[in-house]
Amino acid sequence: MAAEDLIIGFIAGACGSLLLWVTIGRRMMLKYAGESVINAFAEPTPELKEAISGLMVEVWGWLNSPSIEIESKNEENEVIKTKISPLQNVMGVLIDQVAAKLLNKLRGFSGAAARDGNRVEAALMGIPLPRKGQTTQEFILEQLANRMMPVIEQKLSKAMDNTQSSSGSKDGW
């Protein structure tokens, strides 16, 4: 029970601190400390330059120190444990993501080329295929119209000819 009360107290304190920071602290920092911090970085003193340089050396050292242990398998299927740095880890993830996106693009290009090849082959064989973006219903209606219109036109012209011949005149008047 005491651990739960302690956790609730920590959460309440964190929420209270966040509320005070959002309502009062940020304005006060920007009003009073903001200008001095900006001025200090705009015209740094030798001590500040040394402090920033020391901080960057520490950060760079941490980024390049092997601290993350990973496991991999070799050709004999043996587990090998190696340590890599956080920078190597981030760069590895970036490389994997870029390679995956490029591979997906290449797969898309090869799929599009295969689709276009299939369309050319089907066109050479006389098999109609839907256009890009055309729904199946539109394609079917278009194909029905293309096949039925000549038959309908032929029937209508024959009916018109029969009507004209039954009236006795060729010009219809």
Report the C-alpha dihedral over residues 102, 107, 112, 117, rounded to 10 degrees.
130
pLDDT at 47: 92
pLDDT at 13: 86
* Structure confidence by residue, pLDDT tens digits, 64-105: 999 888 888 888 888 889 998 988 988 988 999 999 999 988
pLDDT at 169: 54
**Residues 54, 46 contacting (CB under 8 angstroms):** no
- Residue 37, token pair as written in the block: 């911090």
Q: Is the pLDDT of residue 172 over 70?
A: no
Rounded to whole angstroms, how far apart are CA atoms 139 and 17? Answer: 64
Helix (H, G, I), strand (E, B), or coil: what is residue 145?
Answer: helix
* Structure confidence by residue, pLDDT tens digits, 31-44: 777 677 778 888 88
- Residue 35, token pair as written in the block: 């200008």
Of all residues in the chain, the percent with pLDDT exceeding 70 is 91
Rounded to whole angstroms, how far apart are CA atoms 69 and 167? Answer: 99
Rounded to whole angstroms, how far apart are CA atoms 36 and 50? Answer: 18
pLDDT at 60: 92
Rounded to whole angstroms, how far apart are CA atoms 42 and 35? Answer: 10
Quick one: DSSP state of residue 43?
S
Query: What is the b/e burial string over 159-170, where b = at least 16 CB atoms within 10 angstroms of the residue's CB?
Result: eeeeeeeeeeee
Quick one: DSSP state of residue 35?
H
What residue spans of the chain are helical by DSSP H? Answer: 2-20, 26-28, 34-42, 46-64, 86-125, 136-167
The angle subtended at Cα 105 by Cα 103 and Cα 110, nearest 5°, is 95
pLDDT at 167: 65
Mean pLDDT for 163-170 is 68
pLDDT at 171: 53
pTM of the model: 0.41
